[in-house]
């Protein structure tokens, strides 16, 4: 019996447990020659869970990538971290055990079983994965044959970076060229919202797993180091917003009908705001940080006092789900839009809001709305595939941006007010000149031909991503199928447990 298997027997509990699926392995000592820990099956999952956030392909710490056997064995700054057959002398083990500083992973402990598994693998010779490439378990970053929809884009306060939400990652681009500055991995599912703190210090990505949990990942925006992952909601997070001026609080809205306020420095939940009776979509702080506005599937906009967590008032003018809202930079007005295709603007007094203006703005649900920093322009994006620029003072439509290759699902205005970034369902991102409406640059190209992005392909992707119940979801909006489904889901609406879909999903399925 090799040393490894004695070690295995010592740490028996963990090994036996992990191997329980393969009967003969339940007693390692009985079959030492034929059974040994396999890299892909036994080691990779541990690295995935505990190490990849910092040792992924993009910007790996210590120049050490751990996404595959080959990456790991190649090593980092200090050379190969694994000495086959000698776990005790392997840098990786010494760092995990804290014998070599800094300890890995820096802030957490590896479960003893996980460590013993890695040691057993090293002591057994640190062999490459047994399975052939074809039968390997899909690795951590499956090469997506399809692009992930871009549900959110955000400029850094200095305008030099554009964060783009993706699937399990956030890409940070140079907004003038599209050059990728950094890829931040860590989120466990689709990222629904990305945002920089007002001081530019933090970058947050929010999302989570539909019907299960919400997740917020925070990075140090300057270094790209992942600082914290916050879990808290009972469904995915739709939007996250930092409180101005300092970004000390983070507000998150969720499909679980609640809004939560988090202390950014500690990650501790400060308050849960629970008065919406349906999924909460947009959240936005007033420019002075004192108020928080939220919009929801219950067709209301609510305004909250941030310091007390109390609701100040409810604006009930909307006729359908509210998907987007924004305070005017002056703080004196609030605008919202959503499934009823209308923009509404309320004048805010100390205690209430009065409807100042409303207009039918698009031919389908409006999913994004933003003000330029000077407050003179508003930009809206809708499921009619149009992005429109509005003159705020005259309350008129100024222009429609050039034709969009797919639904414009994300929108952000550059801090200098010169340009607007649009992200789409087909994974593409473009930058437009706000004054002329002209395309400046395609930052990310759609990864599939335009003809395939809409229709069946997207519907399938959406159904998979959001694990919606199967049903007749195909058919363009307005088609018989879409309309009948729309009616059906209207009926189900409000019935307990009936799961409704997210905005763009809504628009196609209701």
Residues of this chain that interact with ligand HEC (CB under 6 A) are 50-51, 53-55, 61-62, 64, 75-78, 81, 91-92, 95-96, 102, 104-106, 110
Q: What share of the chain is helix, strand, coil (3-state, %, to 5)?
A: 20, 35, 45
Least distance CB 60 / ligand HEC (angstroms)? 8
Q: What does each C-alpha distance from 502 to 151, 204, 238, 385, 428 come to in angstroms?
A: 11, 21, 9, 17, 20
Handedness of CA 94, 97, 99, 100 (dihedral sign): positive
Residue with smaller CB distance to ligand HEC, 49 or 199: 49
Residue with smaller CB distance to ligand HEC, 61 or 397: 61
**Per the structure block, which two tokens stand in for 446?**
């759609």
Least distance CB 62 / ligand HEC (angstroms)? 3
Least distance CB 45 / ligand HEC (angstroms)? 11
The residues near 378 (Cβ < 8 Å, ≥ 6 apart) are: 326, 335, 343, 369, 370, 371, 372, 389, 390, 392
Residue identified by tokens 């905005």 is 503
Beta bridge partners of 183: 171
Name the DSSP class of 43. I
Least distance CB 163 / ligand HEC (angstroms)? 20
Q: What does each C-alpha distance from 405 to 205, 255, 369 come to in angstroms?
A: 25, 28, 19
d(CA 135, CA 80): 27
Residue with smaller CB distance to ligand HEC, 92 or 194: 92
Residue with smaller CB distance to ligand HEC, 94 or 481: 94
The residues near 136 (Cβ < 8 Å, ≥ 6 apart) are: 40, 129
Beta bridge partners of 191: 207
Residue with smaller CB distance to ligand HEC, 53 or 321: 53
**Residue 254 near residue 280 (C-beta atoms within 8 A):** yes
d(CA 369, CA 268): 30
**Per the structure block, which two tokens stand in for 134?**
């074809």
Closest CA to 1 of 28, 38, 39: 28
Residue with smaller CB distance to ligand HEC, 51 or 414: 51
d(CA 445, CA 452): 14
Least distance CB 200 / ligand HEC (angstroms)? 21
Residue with smaller CB distance to ligand HEC, 76 or 408: 76
Least distance CB 99 / ligand HEC (angstroms)? 12
Residue with smaller CB distance to ligand HEC, 75 or 157: 75
Least distance CB 298 / ligand HEC (angstroms)? 40
């Amino acid at each position: 019996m090799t040393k490894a298997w004695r070690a295995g027997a010592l740490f028996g509990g963990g090994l036996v447990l992990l191997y329980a699926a393969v009967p003969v392995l339940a007693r390692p000592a009985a079959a030492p020659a034929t059974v040994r820990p396999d890299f892909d099956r036994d080691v990779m999952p541990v690295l995935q869970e505990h190490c990849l956030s910092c040792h992924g392909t993009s910007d790996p710490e210590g120049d050490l990538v751990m996404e595959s056997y080959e990456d790991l064995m190649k090593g980092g700054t200090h050379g190969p971290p694994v000495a086959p057959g000698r776990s005790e002398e392997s840098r990786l083990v010494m760092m995990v055990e804290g014998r070599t500083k800094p300890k890995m992973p820096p802030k957490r402990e590896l479960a003893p079983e996980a460590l013993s598994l890695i040691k057993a693998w090293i002591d057994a010779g640190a062999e490459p994965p047994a399975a052939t490439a074809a039968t390997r378990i899909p690795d951590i970053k499956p090469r997506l044959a399809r692009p992930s929809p871009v549900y959110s884009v955000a400029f850094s306060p200095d305008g030099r970076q554009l964060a783009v939400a993706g699937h399990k990652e956030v890409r940070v681009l140079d907004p003038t060229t599209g050059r990728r500055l950094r890829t931040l991995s860590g989120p466990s599912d689709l990222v629904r919202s990305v945002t920089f703190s007002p001081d530019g210090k933090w970058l947050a990505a929010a999302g989570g797993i539909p019907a299960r949990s919400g997740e917020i990942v925070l990075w140090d925006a300057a270094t790209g180091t992942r600082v914290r992952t916050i879990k808290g909601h009972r469904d995915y997070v739709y939007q996250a917003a930092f409180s101005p001026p300092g970004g000390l609080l983070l507000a998150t809205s969720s499909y679980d009908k609640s809004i939560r306020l988090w202390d950014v420095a500690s990650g501790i939940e400060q308050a849960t705001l629970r008065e919406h009776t349906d999924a909460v979509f947009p959240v936005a702080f007033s420019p002075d940080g004192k108020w928080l506005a939220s919009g929801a599937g219950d067709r209301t906009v609510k305004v909250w006092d941030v310091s007390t967590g109390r609701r100040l008032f409810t604006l009930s003018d909307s006729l359908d789900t509210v998907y987007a809202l924004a305070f005017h930079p002056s703080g004196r007005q609030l605008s919202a839009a959503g499934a009823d295709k209308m923009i509404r603007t309320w004048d805010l007094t100390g205690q209430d809001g009065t409807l100042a203006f409303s207009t039918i703005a698009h031919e389908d649900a409006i999913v994004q709305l933003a003000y330029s920093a000077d407050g003179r322009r508003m930009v809206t994006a809708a499921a009619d595939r149009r992005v429109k620029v509005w003159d705020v003072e005259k309350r008129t439509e100024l222009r429609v941006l050039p034709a969009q290759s797919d639904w414009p699902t994300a929108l952000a205005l550059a801090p200098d007010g010169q340009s607007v970034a649009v992200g789409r369902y087909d994974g593409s991102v473009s930058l437009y000149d706000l004054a002329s409406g002209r395309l400046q640059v395609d930052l990310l190209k759609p990864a599939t031909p335009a003809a395939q992005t809409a229709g069946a392909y997207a519907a399938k992707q959406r159904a998979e991503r959001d694990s919606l119940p199967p049903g007749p979801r195909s058919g363009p909006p307005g088609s018989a199928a879409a309309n009948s489904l729309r009616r059906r889901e209207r009926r189900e609406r409000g019935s307990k447990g009936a799961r409704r879909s997210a905005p763009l999903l809504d628009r196609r399925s209701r």
